[in-house]
Homo-oligomer: A and B are copies of this chain.
């Protein structure tokens, strides 16, 4: 019997999840919930978010594909009253609070929920815990990129005179190599990543002023070395329309004998939302099973035995993958 999936939110992530379900033979898409009028989409699965309650009993797990700023903190505890849920809540500082709220709702309403999965938090968190547990004396470094940061691209586009723009976060190779060599460097924000911007401006715009505004923008750019490239809209559309991303989690440690050891995880993605949605589905499988086993409340990737992620039986996993 297939796992019945609902999707809440139809942005890049929701669209990615809709497609990714086709790669998982044990899953079935039941409905996609949107705040917009479903009839404006040429898609028979669309439903209005107000109808969600009527799907009770028809959906095993809801994949929440909204944003972390406002959608997920509001939607997750609400939807968790009726359905098992998965989300990709990624405001690191607020995770403990979000967990407590969702855990309470889940336990009260007997649903099982998993928050903060995707690749970071999520897959990268897995590598941070593996690194720390297996090389207890050492240091962990996370680098992001090269990839498009949606938040930074948005920040550029809000500047007056800017028509369009994309921002790439780029890990600094020399820092990566110091880390890999086991030098355990203390790296400032500026030493770990640089920011590359591709910006389209209005014809009359003052480029020097815009460049300065970008480079000095607090929180977003001022702590980094930032490169600003002015290009045409055509060039932006042709060369910068994708959503690539990736990164590195590196753990370097020393054994008690003084031997240097390194674990490094590398991710190279042509599509960030496609990969994130694919991870959400793997955890939806786990949540369906663990919920069937009677678990309720809230989990994170740290609480899920990895066998739960795979459609294969435990015996087959031992035979083929161990």
* Interface residues, chain A, with chain B CB atoms under 8 Å away: 16, 19-20, 22-24, 92, 95-96, 99, 116, 121, 123, 125-126, 128-130, 132-137, 255-257, 259-271, 274-275, 278-279, 282, 285, 300-307, 309-310, 314-315, 317-319, 321-322
Please name 28 pairs of A and B residues whose Cβ atoms are closer than 8 Å in the assembled complex, sorted by A: A20-B255, A20-B256, A22-B256, A23-B255, A96-B319, A126-B306, A128-B321, A130-B306, A130-B309, A133-B282, A134-B278, A136-B278, A255-B270, A255-B275, A256-B274, A259-B271, A259-B274, A261-B269, A261-B270, A261-B274, A262-B269, A263-B266, A264-B265, A265-B266, A300-B322, A301-B306, A302-B306, A303-B305
Q: Tell me the complex Cα distance, A60–B275, Å.
A: 41
Q: A255-B16, A256-B19, A266-B264 are in contact. Are A129 and B274 (CB under 8 A)?
A: no
Copy number in the complex reads 2
Q: Tell me the complex Cα distance, A92–B320, Å.
A: 9
Q: Which residues of B contact A128 (CB under 8 A)?
A: 321
Q: Tell me the complex Cα distance, A41–B217, Å.
A: 66
